[in-house]
Amino acid sequence: MRRRRRRLAVTALAALTLAACGSERPDSPGAPTRSADAVSARKDAAFTKMLDEVARECPPPGAKRKAPATPKGEAPTAPVEPPPGATVEPPPGGAVEPVAPTAGPEVELDARDWCAGVQHEQRVAEAVLRLKRPDPAQVRKVLNGLGYIDERIHGLKRSGAVTTFAVDLRDKGGRLCLEGTANGDLTEVEMCVAPVRGAFDIANITRRS
């Protein structure tokens, strides 16, 4: 009887040990989710840190952009009215005088987004320009290397020799995004404007006019 009790005690102890080991196995229920969440949190933190680093010398969020200053020593010029009866000739070659934009990044982005956007344009364009044949996989790799995570990269696709992409850079209530085109010989990266809230959708961004 005593031997039987001892065997039962040993069996119970072994079962408890196996249960404890099983609860720590990486493939136990819930473990993959916790691991994925931790990785995602680290990526988000690194991305936010990169955004702060790029915009470290920029104005605070929400700061308004100042109008272009008049060069020192020069007074603002006003349009000159022609004398009565004078004939106004059109500009040579049919040239049209530039009109100030009424929409787009120049108008809709605040001072911080505009300042940071200039930095992002330059660093992304320089990196992508080094690619001789910028297919989507190579462009994604370059963007990831600069700190732009996959969750913020959109519309990455190739049409013929041209690869297009967009990057969601909204942060601290901003509306900044980038839109790029690369074909090996010509790379264009420009700021764009995204809605403040909601999922990023290329169809809803505002581009330079």
Give the pLDDT score at 33.
65
d(CA 51, CA 147): 9
Of residues 162 and 208, the one with the higher pLDDT is 162
| Highest mean predicted confidence (pLDDT) among 1-15, 58-72, 138-152 | 138-152
SS (H, E, C) the chain: CHHHHHHHHHHHHHHHHHHHHHHCCCCCCCHHHHHHHHHHHHHHHHHHHHHHHHCCCCCCCCCCCCCCCCCCCCCCCCCCCCCCCCCCCCCHHHCCCCCCCCCCHHHHCCHHHHHHHHHHHHHHHHHHHCCCCCCHHHHHHHHHHCCCCHHHEEEEEEECCEEEEEEECCCCCCCEEEEEEECCCCEEEEEEECCCCCCCCHHHCECCC
Give the pLDDT score at 69.
46
- For the whole model, what pTM was predicted? 0.69
How far does the chain reach from its first CA to its final CA, in angstroms? 92
Q: Which residue ranges make up each domain of the chain? A: 30-60+105-209
Phi, psi at 19, each rounded to 5°: -65, -40
CB 176 within 8 A of CB 169: yes
Name 159's bridge partners. Answer: 162
Q: Encode pLDDT of 149-195 as tens digits.
A: 999 999 999 999 999 999 999 999 999 999 999 997 889 999 999 99
What CA dihedral angle connects 125, 126, 129 and 135, to 10 degrees? -60
Confidence of residue 16 (pLDDT cuts 50, 70, 90): very low
Give the pLDDT score at 71.
46
d(CA 113, CA 93): 38
Confidence of residue 89 (pLDDT cuts 50, 70, 90): low
Name 189's bridge partners. Answer: 180
